[in-house]
Amino acid sequence: IGRSIELLTEKSQVLSWVHNRFSMILVDEYQDSNAAQFNLLKQLVGPNCFVCVVGDDDQSIYRFRGAEVQNILSFPSLYPGTRTVKLEQNYRSTQNILEIANSVIRNNKGRHDKKLWTANTKGSKPNVLYVQDEQDEALRVSNILLADKQFNQSAVLYRTNAQSVAFETVFKRLGIPYKVVGALQFYEREEVKDALALLFLLTNPKDEVNFKRMINKPARGIGPGALETILSFSSQTDGNLLTMLSLALEKGSLSAKAKAGALHFLKMYQHAHAMLEGGELVDCANFLVRESGLVDHYTEMDSLNSTSKVENLEALVSALGSYDSSLEGLLQFLEQLSLDPTTLGSEDPRDKEGVTLITMHNTKGLEFDRVFVAGLEEELFPGRSSESDEDVEEERRIFYVAVTRARRDLYLLCARARRIWGKTSFQHPSRFLDEVDPSLVAVQGIRPGSLGQGGFQGFSSLGEKRRVASPAAWGNSGGNLIQQGFGTKAKTFTMQTTHASKEGEALFPLGQRVYSDSYGEGEVVEVRMSGDREVIEVRFHTGRKATFISKFAQLEKLGSD
């Protein structure tokens, strides 16, 4: 576009030809035009040209892509004699839903005045649901969905992709079919897989796949040669990759850079395991994603690509807050992921049926019988980066687009608290809820207190680093790492394998055939001890593997063939 503008500006004969060639110009979706497109249109329109632009300034929501709402707002002044035709009749939503949209969007100063109306029925009142936290939010939505099972015509709209994790987790648990549109399912996102790899390796130091994935991600000087050196010590261990790493540091020919990276990785796991044994699951996960370098790595990527990968890491850490703060809790969390076929990500979401999970930006042009707008809290929607009046007006337009996706039923949800990096943060209702006429909605639940009242506090900065022990504080790095083991927690951390030499010694002996109600037959392929807990690994007939704590495993023993 820039070169075209340059050509028309510098070559008057070309500009004259264009003006004579086009007597009428029509532009659609003008509210989404950017500065370059605006300037090109100005060049194309000649003195005898009629120009018509179609657009809705209240639906200009792509500022982050360069869209300028001022393009459509300034059109009448730029082209004197402009006739404005207001298309105010809506054919999709009920009048009650439109009244919600009208009552909020009228607070924007930068807009053409208009008011939506419809010949449709007035419909039922939209609902405002005040819930306890993100888990309660997902459960309340689930209860409504399960009441009539109208999954295909229901959608959950949220401001950021990271908000999908609570809905995905609860929907999986309750058997509610769903599809994530416009993004990968939460547990299929690269940054989430990286964090999960760190957690899987924490529970099973023999996990070679995840060890290879994360030993040099982000880069810490351990290239293919150094990795080969580390794995060459496999014959001297029982398959414990962290023991191999320790042997390589003691006896291997690693470069200085590789040694530094390997030592940091090893001591990071020593400290993480001590935290887990101390019942600090959330802090342990937070420590791993930060000390491994993932947060810094993806922060840089977010700044370059305008992505939200760090928010997804935060959401994963927060999701662990719903589990017991121990090894059992972590194993339960990972077990559910391993056994859940929907985490495989093999299906195209467009081919799936079920509830639609989607960001508000991606819903433009879509419509659903029932819409749930989640996360209506300050610093989430509008977001914490919305500082200027222009930012807030853009967020208000996003709200307008979100609620007008609903044909029949609309639910607006606000949580009293949310987990941020696993820590509870009390919320304040979105200003957009304050702008809704109370007579237009049916309210369920107790509205959280105002800012500064009732003990509520705002978000802490998402990017703020929490204090964790420095590598130097993890213990003396000198001496023989093999003799040191992994500090005071070495016995549990090494998770020694047992082969159940005596009959009945293990609850599920090696080779024991088992049955799961959900996943069929399998065989115990490994038995190991974590402290006084027996941990087993089962390979199911589908080829999937899962880890269980024996005394909690809901598995039926099968007799031998």
Query: Which CATH number is 188-337+467-492 given?
Result: 1.10.486.10
Q: Which CATH fold topology does 95-185+345-444 show?
A: Rossmann fold (3.40.50)
Q: Which of 193, 274, 197 is nearest to 492 (CA)?
A: 274
Domain with CATH 1.10.486.10 in the chain: 188-337+467-492
267 vs 257: CA distance, rounded Å = 16
* Other Cβ atoms within 10 Å of 468 Cβ, number: 17
- Measured CA to CA, the distance from residue 363 to residue 368 in angstroms comes to 10
Q: Which part of the chain is CATH 2.30.30? A: 496-558
Rg of the chain on CA atoms, in Å: 29
Report the relative pairing of strands 520-530 and 178-180 from DSSP bridges: unpaired
| Bridge partners, 63 (sequence order) | none
Task: For residue 424, list its beta bridge partners.
Answer: 419
Strands in 334-421 per DSSP E: 355-359, 368-373, 406-415, 417-420
pLDDT for residue 449: 67
- What's the token pair of residue 184? 């990968």
pLDDT value, residue 375 = 96
pLDDT score recorded for residue 235? 85
List all residues 6 or more positions away from 369 whose beta carbon is below 8 Å from its beta carbon. Answer: 150, 153, 154, 406, 407, 408, 409
Is residue 335 a contact partner of residue 343, using CB atoms and an 8 Å limit?
Answer: no
Largest CA distance in the chain: 97
Cα gap 533→77, rounded to integer Å? 75
In the DSSP assignment, the letter for residue 221 is S
Distances (CA, A) of 475 to 271, 278, 290, 483: 9, 16, 19, 14
Give the per-residue pLDDT at 373.
98
Cβ contacts of residue 147 below 8 Å, gap of 6+?
Answer: none
Which three-class secondary structure string do you get for 21-58? Answer: HCCEEEECCHHHCEHHHHHHHHHHCCCCCEEEECCCHH
pTM flag (> 0.85): no
* CATH code of the domain occupying 496-558: 2.30.30
Q: CA geometry: angle at 526 spanning 524 and 527, to 5°?
A: 100
Going from the C-alpha of 198 to that of each of 135, 291, 301, the distances in angstroms are 24, 11, 20
Residue 508, helix vs strand vs coil: coil
Closest CA to 230 of 205, 264, 258, 203: 258
Stated length of the chain:
561
∠ CA(5), CA(7), CA(13), 5° rounding?
Answer: 120
* DSSP element (H, E) containing 178: strand 178-180
**Which residues make up the CATH 3.40.50.300 domain(s) of the chain?**
2-78, 95-185+345-444
User: What six digits make up the tokens of 528?
Assistant: 């190991």
Q: What is the pLDDT of residue 338?
A: 66
Query: Under CATH, which architecture does the 2-78 domain have?
Result: 3-Layer(aba) Sandwich (3.40)
| Residues 55/32, Cβ–Cβ less than 8 Å | yes
Q: How many CA atoms lie within 13 A of 419 on its CB side?
A: 26
pLDDT value of residue 305: 75
Any bridge partners for residue 273, and if so which? none
Residue 102 is predicted with a pLDDT of 97
561 residues of the chain, pLDDT tens digit each: 889 999 999 999 999 999 999 999 999 999 999 999 999 999 999 988 999 999 999 999 988 888 999 999 999 999 999 999 999 999 999 999 999 999 999 999 999 999 999 999 999 999 999 999 999 999 999 999 999 999 999 999 999 888 999 999 899 889 999 999 887 888 889 999 999 999 999 999 989 999 999 999 999 999 999 999 999 998 888 889 999 999 999 888 899 999 999 999 999 999 999 999 888 899 999 999 999 999 999 998 888 777 789 999 999 999 898 788 888 889 888 887 765 544 544 454 455 789 999 999 999 889 999 999 999 999 999 987 777 899 999 999 999 999 999 999 999 999 999 988 877 888 999 999 999 999 999 999 989 864 433 333 333 333 333 333 444 444 433 333 333 333 333 333 333 333 333 444 678 888 888 876 655 788 888 888 766 677 788 887 766 777 777 776 777 788 755
Q: Which residues contact 472 (CB under 8 A, 6 or more apart)?
A: none
Angle at which helices 309-319 and 190-203 cross, to 10°: 40
| Predicted pLDDT of residue 452 | 39
Where helices occur in 47-189 by DSSP H, the ranges are 70-73, 75-78, 95-105, 134-148, 164-174
